[in-house]
């Protein structure tokens, strides 16, 4: 039992930590690729040198992030066998394929072409060099696609049969065209764009305010970062909305838990805040807007949404006695935090874009406010983490919804002591690494200046 | 051909690629702190593998992924059996991977020295542990009828497996040194690497022979002449590599070293076939290509993917080595402020 709880904590810590870096990789690789494309294609002489320096600047931040993403990714892959061997046995016929394909189609691309990109500035032609970073961006996204194919199966199994107590693959195309993949991938992709956009925005604003000589170049990236982030936010909003509508068929228990809707309702209200009592299976009090939940799901103000208690009764009928309700309180508030942060980032994006566009970034009242913007850098990361909490905690008590319980998936030979040791070990090393990486990244941001004489002149008029 | 046999061969190919490529990466990493007192020299040493180490490490990840896809029971049993050993290996690989990126980002001598130590540690630990794992797999582990490991961490360590670990470590040091001698321009560094390789080559040869003898006594390898032949051939190739190194024929020494590793890996898998994990409790509990495999449907999909993708990977990885074929000079270090 102890090994189970600890293994869950270890996996949660590793995934959350890993997913601090993944979205930056997904988004920033595309951002750097776009920047380099601008550098290769631009014919404005005053912009050529500066844009090359910008590519290197954001490229370096990308590399520091990427290194940590890679090393924690290996831990992730090993964890399935180390801590979850019964899961690997039960699911290996299906789950192993996307993982192996991820390595073959994505990891090789990313690692090889990133090496070429970093060390090939003088060895490759500018166009070929630029192509390398595009291939890295492509590889990162292919990687995200495969791992989300695997995750989607856990959330919503398709194309399988149960033979001799194991899940076996019967339809590979169904696995990759699982509607769930579309929702998860598009949402992860746009979260990546959002996160990278926010990183670019925060770093650029800091440079504009604190480093006068680099002001012109970084004013450009403030705009670019804000636009990038806004695209990501709109995409994340749209994909999130469509995915939620799809959840109504694919995983109603998760959906109703997110909304803390205990009893079936038609039309279903949307609770803005609720005092949730999981053990009594009801909300002690709530502030709700009538009909909005139905409207979000069905685009009309009516329509029944099944309540958690009814779904629990159905599940007991189908799978036998047990508690099939996930952590409602955690899901409910995670969802609201995610939405709230999305709205806040959108506001910040529009405001900074407007200020940068009208040249007011360094004017008096705004200047003071913008000083706080870099301190808000954790926002997209919190939004990403609670988003994954919703996805993963929302399928509990299942590891594969309807097929295998998390409690049955853990490696039987592990002792609590062993997992304690590794849990503490991994956590400590993660802490040391992120501190080292942050220090280096901050120092690098601080020390790099991107001056360009003609550009600086243009910046003054 | 039966797909499970094909996948046994593909796993062998992936591990062979992994040990040859990561072999010299680990070797260079282990030699790093001992090659020169000058920071610029060590930067040059690191530059020889900087563009390629990550791509090489993917061979290990792919081998793991392929085991998962083709032989899920092996993946499940192996990774949970080696739980603490893999934890150590992961810690080493995390430190090593981060070190390649972080070392060059500051000029402080302490900072750089610390990350070099991380690279050395992060290369030595996996090199050693892979050797231990290979021997454990060969001699068998207490695996019960549920395919679950019934021993403890210390059952993984024996004189035999430790000798295996030392063999791997020493061969990789030698392999790294010959790689450096064809990738560096600085003659002083090459000679230093060569003299270290001469010492470690002797250790490797002695450990290899000892390991071979222990294998004959502890396993059923004598019933498999092909495996014995390959391992003896590996030993002969290694002697060849050593002689060529002493004669300063670095390229052929490196190639012979790579062939040594290839023969050892193939010999190891030949000694296992058709088993993948041997049970010391009861031969019937062993995990084989029959009882541990995925379904024919999954295997056929993975086969198509592997046969299309692996050649493409080989082409572009080969091209990378072609792009970075020039010997590393101090200018390269300067250019990348490495």
Q: Can you tell me the ipTM of this complex?
A: 0.89
Kindly determine whether residue B97 and residue A71, on different chains, have CB atoms separated by under 8 Å.
yes
Does the structure show a pLDDT above 50 at A81?
yes
Q: Are residues A335 and A286 in the same domain?
A: no
Does the structure show a pLDDT above 60 at A458?
no
Q: Are residues A15 and A86 in the same domain?
A: yes
Count the alpha carbons within 13 Å of A21 in the hemisphere toward its beta carbon: 23
Select the residue from B60, B90, B293 to test the A interface by mutation, using most A Cβ atoms within 10 A. Answer: B90
Dist CA B338 CA B334 (whole Å): 7
pTM for the full predicted model: 0.89
Q: What angle do CA A164, A168, A169 make, to 5 degrees?
A: 160
Instruction: Enter the tokens of residue B23.
Output: 């072999």
Dist CA B144 CA B273 (whole Å): 20
Q: CA-nearest residue of chain A to B93? A: A71
Q: Are residues A129 and A210 in the same domain?
A: yes
Q: What 3-state class would DSSP assign to B75?
A: helix
Select the residue from B75, B144, B306 to test the A interface by mutation, using most A Cβ atoms within 10 A. Answer: B75
Closest CA to A392 of A148, A191, A95: A148
Contact A21, A68 (CB under 8 A): yes
Q: Among A305, A325, A345, where does a domain finish?
A: A325
Domain range for A122 = 2-249+328-460
Partners of residue A443 in chain B, C-beta under 8 Å: 105-106
pLDDT for the residue A280: 83
Q: Are residues A193 and A281 in the same domain?
A: no
Q: Are residues A342 and A195 in the same domain?
A: yes
Q: Tens digit of pLDDT for each residue in B229-245? A: 999 999 999 999 999 98
Closest CA to A380 of A145, A190, A142, A210: A190
Evaluate the CA torsion angle A153, A157, A163, A164 in order and state its sign.
Answer: positive
Q: Tens digit of pLDDT for each residue in A267-280? A: 888 888 888 888 88
Q: Among A325, A354, A382, where does a domain finish?
A: A325
Q: Are residues A8 and A101 in the same domain?
A: yes
Total domains in chain A come to 2
**Rg of chain B (C-alpha set):** 20
Q: Are residues A374 and A453 in the same domain?
A: yes
Contact A62, A24 (CB under 8 A): yes
Q: Are residues A260 and A212 in the same domain?
A: no
Q: Among A280, A296, A325, where does a domain finish?
A: A325
For A:398-417, CB contacts with B below 8 A are 411-414
Q: Are residues A112 and A21 in the same domain?
A: yes
Does the structure show a pLDDT above 50 at A415?
yes
Instruction: Enter the tokens of residue A431.
Output: 């802490």
- Nearest Cβ partner for B335 among A104, A109, A122: A122
Dist CA B240 CA B252 (whole Å): 9
Q: Are residues A118 and A205 in the same domain?
A: yes
Q: Are residues A173 and A69 in the same domain?
A: yes
pLDDT for the residue A1: 65
Q: Are residues A306 and A203 in the same domain?
A: no
pLDDT above 70: percentage of residues in chain B: 99
Give the residue, B288 or A460, on which the prediction is more confident.
B288
pLDDT for the residue B243: 92
């Amino acid at each position: 039992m102890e090994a189970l709880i600890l293994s869950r904590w270890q996996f949660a810590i590793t995934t959350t930590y890993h997913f601090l870096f993944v979205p930056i990789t997904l988004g920033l690789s595309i951002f750097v690729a776009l920047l380099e494309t601008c550098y290769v294609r631009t014919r404005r002489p005053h912009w050529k040198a500066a844009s090359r320096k910008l590519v290197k600047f954001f490229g370096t931040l990308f590399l520091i992030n990427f290194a940590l993403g890679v090393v924690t990714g290996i831990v992730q892959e090993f964890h399935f066998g180390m801590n979850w061997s019964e899961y690997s046995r039960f699911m290996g016929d299906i789950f192993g394929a996307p993982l192996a394909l991820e390595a073959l189609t994505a990891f090789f691309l990313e690692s090889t072409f990133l090496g070429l990109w970093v060390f090939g500035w003088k060895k490759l032609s500018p166009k070929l060099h630029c192509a390398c970073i595009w291939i890295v961006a492509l590889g990162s996204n292919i990687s995200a696609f495969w791992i989300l194919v695997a995750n989607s199966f856990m959330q919503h199994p398709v194309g399988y049969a149960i033979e001799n107590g194991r899940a076996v693959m019967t339809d590979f195309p169904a696995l990759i065209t699982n509607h769930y993949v579309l929702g998860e991938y598009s949402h992860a992709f746009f979260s990546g764009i959002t996160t990278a956009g926010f990183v670019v925005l925060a770093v650029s604003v800091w440079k504009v305010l604190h480093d006068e000589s680099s002001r012109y170049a970084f004013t450009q990236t403030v705009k670019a970062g804000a636009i990038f982030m806004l695209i990501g936010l709109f995409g994340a909003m749209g994909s999130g909305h469509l995915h939620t509508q799809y959840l109504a068929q694919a995983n109603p228990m998760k959906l109703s838990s997110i909304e803390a809707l205990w009893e079936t309702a038609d039309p279903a209200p949307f609770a803005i805040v609720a005092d949730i009592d999981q053990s009594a299976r009801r909300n002690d009090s709530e502030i709700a807007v009538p009909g909005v939940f139905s409207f979000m799901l069905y685009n009309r103000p009516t329509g029944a949404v099944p309540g958690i208690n009814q779904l629990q009764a159905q599940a007991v009928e189908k799978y036998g006695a047990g508690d099939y309700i996930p952590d409602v309180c955690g899901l409910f508030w995670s969802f609201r935090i995610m939405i709230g942060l999305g709205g806040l980032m959108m506001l910040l994006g529009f405001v900074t874009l407007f200020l940068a566009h009208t040249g007011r970034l360094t004017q008096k009242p705004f200047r003071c406010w913008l000083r706080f913007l870099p301190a808000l850098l954790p926002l997209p990361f919190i939004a990403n983490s609670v988003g994954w909490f919703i996805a993963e905690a929302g399928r509990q008590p299942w590891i594969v919804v309807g097929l295998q319980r998390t409690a049955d998936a853990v490696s039987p030979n592990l002792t609590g002591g062993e997992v304690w040791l590794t849990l503490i070990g991994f956590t400590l090393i993660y802490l040391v690494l992120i501190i080292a990486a942050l220090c280096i990244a901050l120092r690098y941001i601080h020390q790099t200046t991107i001056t360009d004489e003609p550009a600086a002149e243009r910046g003054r008029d | 051909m039966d797909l499970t046999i094909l996948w046994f061969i593909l796993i062998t190919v992936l591990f062979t690629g992994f040990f040859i490529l990561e072999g010299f990466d680990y070797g260079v990493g282990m030699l790093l702190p001992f090659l020169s007192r000058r920071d610029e020299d060590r930067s040059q040493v690191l530059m020889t593998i900087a563009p390629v180490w990550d791509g090489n490490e993917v061979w290990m990840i792919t081998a793991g992924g392929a085991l998962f896809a083709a032989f899920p029971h092996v993946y499940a049993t192996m990774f949970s059996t080696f739980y603490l050993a893999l934890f150590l290996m992961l810690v080493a690989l995390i430190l090593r991977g981060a070190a390649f990126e972080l070392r060059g980002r500051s000029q402080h001598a302490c900072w750089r020295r610390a990350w070099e130590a991380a690279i050395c540690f992060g290369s030595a630990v996996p090199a050693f542990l892979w050797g231990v794992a290979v021997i454990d797999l060969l001699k068998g582990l207490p695996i019960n009828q549920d395919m679950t490991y019934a021993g403890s961490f210390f059952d993984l360590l024996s004189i035999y497996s430790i000798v295996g670990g030392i063999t791997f470590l020493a061969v990789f040091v030698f392999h790294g040194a010959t790689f450096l001698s064809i990738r560096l321009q600085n003659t002083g560094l090459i000679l230093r690497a060569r003299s270290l390789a001469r010492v470690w080559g002797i250790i490797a040869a002695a450990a290899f022979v000892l390991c071979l003898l222990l294998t004959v006594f502890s396993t059923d390898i004598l019933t498999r002449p092909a495996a014995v032949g390959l391992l003896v051939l590996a030993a002969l190739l290694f002697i060849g590599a050593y002689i060529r190194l002493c004669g300063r024929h670095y390229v052929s020494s490196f190639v012979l070293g790579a062939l040594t590793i290839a023969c050892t890996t193939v010999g190891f898998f030949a000694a296992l076939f058709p088993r993948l994990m041997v049970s010391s409790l009861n031969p019937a509990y062993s995990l084989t290509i029959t009882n541990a495999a995925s379904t024919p449907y999954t295997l056929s999909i993975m086969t198509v993917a592997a046969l299309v993708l692996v050649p493409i990977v080989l082409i572009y990885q080969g091209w990378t080595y072609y792009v970075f074929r020039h010997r590393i000079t101090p200018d390269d270090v300067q250019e990348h402020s490495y």
